[in-house]
A and B are shown apart, each in its own frame.
Chain A
Amino acid sequence: MTKASIVIIGAGISGVSTAYNLAKAGMKDIHVVDKGYFTNGSTGRCGAGVRQQWATKLNCILAKKSIEFFGRANGELKYHKDIEFKQEGYLILATTKEEDEQFTKNVKLQNSIGIPSEKLTVEEALKIVPHLNKNSFISATFCKTDGHVNPFLMTEAYYLAAKRLGVEFHFFEEVKEIVVGGNKIKKVITEKEEYLTDKVLNAAGGYAKEIGLMAGVEIPVFSENHEILVTERAKAMQGPMVMSFSKNIYCQQVPHGSFLMGRSNPDAVPSHDISSSWQFLDEMALTVKDILPEVAKLRVIRTWGGSYNVSPDRQPIISDTKELNGFYMACGFSGHGFMFAPITGELLTKIILKQELDEYAHDLHIDRFKENIITDYEHSVV
């Protein structure tokens, strides 16, 4: 039996970010449990992009604050390696008139909160990525401060900083039961240990719904497989992430030299499947050959899948709940938990320590679904 101020379920990026921020704020006896190896879940499977070009104000704010943190992460976390924050932008292609019009609105929204995105013509976009197929799009948006962070090393930077502040981590330890009584959490039982605690953070990524149900809390999220591939290394040839929602692709060359690219499966059904399919490989190859024919000359060396934990409005749930005291959640990131992790940890720390929240953060509460007060929906998602 171990006494814990809080048990954080999931040592992915949301879990380690919150553990670090809570410990920095002075909390002791923080325990993080994870059922598998280091970054076994969505964090270690993600596309490694970090962007601020969103269609909802809420996502724009979360992204901007997170990007600011990535810029100072090595120093603040005293990381002995490098998180590989590369700011060479995201170039997002519009391929239809509707998309072009929507992007004009998006840029206006992004600029209004200080995100330096801009609308580009085809010619301007070709100056940034010369190997783009100029016939595959009609306009683009570009934000030069978007880019890339290494998910494994970013997670390790938080993990090591949290450990130095006394946080205890338990890998290969699956949570089996959350014991609740009288609207309070009593304990968390794992396959190896019992933790006496009155606080739990559900940062379980693809399994957030199941962890919620363990505590009797219904969370309106589901998981969906998103596949991705990586190529062999190539000489540096593409600075920005190239992305298209209508063509269903994101594609970036990471500092290591390989290209990462992914797309969503329009026929995917909610499940915990994370397998690879030949259909993905076919569709991905066809799409990249259309938009970035030079990149299609590279060899693909590996494919994998990972869970998007999807919320009804494609925006995260960073929240407590009236249903159960001491139960907190960071889920429903809809594919963007990695890039929002810095602000996720900061906001949850305020929520858990009952400090005042900025006005915008109230919109992340789970009650927005219950009370049917959803006003926004994020369309800028692959």
Chain B
Amino acid sequence: MSKKDIIICRCEDISLADVEECLEAGYTTVEDIKRILRVGMGPCQGQTCSHLIQAEIAKYLHVSKDSVKFQKTRPLITGVVLADIAAAALEGEEDD
């Protein structure tokens, strides 16, 4: 199977070939690759791709996967509609 057809990040449609190109260009941390390819920035927030990228970095640098730092986890845990947040915020004010 061509590396272009192996999808690493489903949210942003990033292939293994894209990731390897990024590694070759010298970006060898999860945070670097996230910023260049947008991996981990989609709706799943890296839950699918980040550990695959971690493994690719480990392979490329010949280090253990554990030694490759994971990306920073940011809020929110899952996508939430802004209008729902606004409605909950107003409700909260009324409760106070």
Residues of A that sit less than 8 Å from B by CB:
37-40, 44, 152-153, 156, 230-233, 256, 276, 281-286, 288-289, 293, 295-304
Contacts and interface: CB of A to CB of B under 8 A. Distances in A.
Contacts of A230: 41
Contacts of B89: 282-283, 285-286
Contacts of A286: 86, 89-90
A301 B80 CA distance: 7
Contact of A297 (B42, B75, B82): B82
16 contacts: A39-B35, A40-B31, A153-B36, A230-B41, A256-B38, A276-B74, A281-B76, A282-B85, A296-B82, A297-B81, A298-B82, A299-B82, A300-B85, A302-B41, A302-B76, A304-B74
A300 B43 contact: no
A37 B29 CA distance: 8
A301 B76 contact: yes
Contacts of B88: 282
A301 B42 contact: yes
Contacts of A289: 82-83, 86
Contacts of A301: 42-43, 45, 76, 79
Contacts of A233: 42
Interface residues of B, number: 25
Contacts of B43: 232, 299, 301
Contacts of A298: 81-82
Interface of B: 27, 29, 31-32, 35-36, 38, 41-43, 45, 74-76, 79-83, 85-86, 88-90, 92
Nearest to A286: B86
A302 B74 contact: yes
A300 B83 contact: no
A44 B76 contact: no
A296 B36 contact: no
A43 B86 CA distance: 29
Contacts of B27: 38
Contacts of A288: 82, 86
A232 B31 contact: no
A303 B82 contact: no
A363 to B, nearest CB: 34
A70 to B, nearest CB: 19
A14 to B, nearest CB: 17
**Most chain B CB inside 10 Å of its own CB: which residue of A38, A39, A295, A304:** A38
A285 B82 contact: yes
Contacts of A37: 29, 31-32, 35
Contacts of A285: 82-83, 85-86, 89
A296 B79 CA distance: 13
